[in-house]
Every structure is written in structure tokens, then in C-alpha cells.
A and B are shown apart, each in its own frame.
Chain A
């Protein structure tokens, strides 16, 4: 099965706390791509990161970091020193290689609420 699970439906933290959003995926492919998108209250979907399955290096971009662990099929997203503007729904998505299409397999999303 090809599937993305974001088990945390909603997370609420106080500003300046660190928070990790979990993403677990299933795929039979050895080559695949993983994505994170942010959907703020305004509704648009904002691309955050793409990772291919051969690159297990962790990525850091400012307060954002991503931990890719093939051994556990996880691609978790951490926000350090969270801010109110980080409040959004965050989606993890998988693009398997073997499938002949380009259809992203989306997780259900995690709603992140950052309280001032």
C-alpha cells in the first residue's frame, strides 16, 4: 500500500515552544519523494520542502527542520521556537517512483495552533 499517516490531528502549543509534526509513510518503491506543505488560515497551500529517498540528510531552514528516517519510514517536521504565524494545517505527501503517474499521496494534515 502507498499511504501517508499524520496521526496528530491537532496540536496546540504556546508560542516559543518547539513542536514536532509526525509523518509516517508506506510505499513499496525504493525511490520516492516526500513533501511538506503548509496551509495557513488564508487557505493557500505553500510548498516547504521536497526530499528524495536517497538523501537522508536532515534539513534545516531557519526555525524549520526535517528529520528523514528511512528505517522507520518517517519524515518528521520540527518547528523551533514556534510563533503565532506558524499556525496552519501542515500536510505531508508522498510521490512514489514506480507509479506511472505524478499523483501525490497526501496525509490528512495536522492542524497546528500556536497560542500567544
Chain B
């Protein structure tokens, strides 16, 4: 089975540009999570979707960040406009619904560098 798929794997952009990160969760998983990982803050949960509906976006740093899940097999995380402090590795993870404690399976991450 394919795992969580993320694209692009690497993104280098200039400050002020729009960045869109993409995620395809594992088929059959109804929960999707976006995380950001930095050396300073470790892993931070940005937003959580259940059955395509955003349940909690309290981790989204500011209005420049937005996330969508138009269907069960696709989600995007958009940063507009991007800033150098947004440089990080962004992970998407998915898990089966039904129990909060179901393990989350992570994608390979997108390494974002904003110059």
C-alpha cells in the first residue's frame, strides 16, 4: 500500500511568494494532520481534518496560512505571502478514524526554504 504522499519534497522560494504544499493521505484514512517541524520548536500541529472537515486549526500560525481538504484523498497547505521564518519541514499525516489514539502515519515531508 502507498503511504502518505507529499509534494513537492523540496521547495525553495522567495519571500512574498505563494507556496502550496500537497498531501494525499493513505486510502481509507479519515483523519489528516498538517505538522511543521523546526529545530527551535520541534513538531507543531498546525491543523487537523476529520472526514474532510477542519476540526481544529488553532495551530495555524497566522492568516497567511490556510489549509483545505476538498475530498478524502487530497489536502493542501498554502502560505501566502511566505516569509523566511516559515522555513521548516512540513509533514502531513493520516490516521484511521474511529479512535483518537489510532497511530498517525506520516508522509516524507516537504522541506520549505523561504529566502
Contact = CB atoms under 8 A, between A and B. Distances in A.
B34 interface: no
A108 B39 CA distance: 9
Contacts of A101: 48, 55-56, 100
A89 B76 CA distance: 27
A106 B101 contact: no
A104 B104 contact: yes
Interface stretch (B62-70, B78-86, B106-114): B106-114
A68 interface: no
B48 A102 contact: yes
B55 to A, nearest CB: 8
Contact of B108 (A35, A44, A102, A108): A44
A24 interface: no
A: interface residue count bin? 20 to 34
A47 B108 contact: no
Nearest to A35: B103
9 contacts: A33-B101, A47-B104, A91-B43, A95-B101, A101-B100, A104-B43, A106-B43, A108-B42, A109-B42
A102 B43 contact: no
Interface in A9-55: 33, 35, 37, 42-47, 50, 52
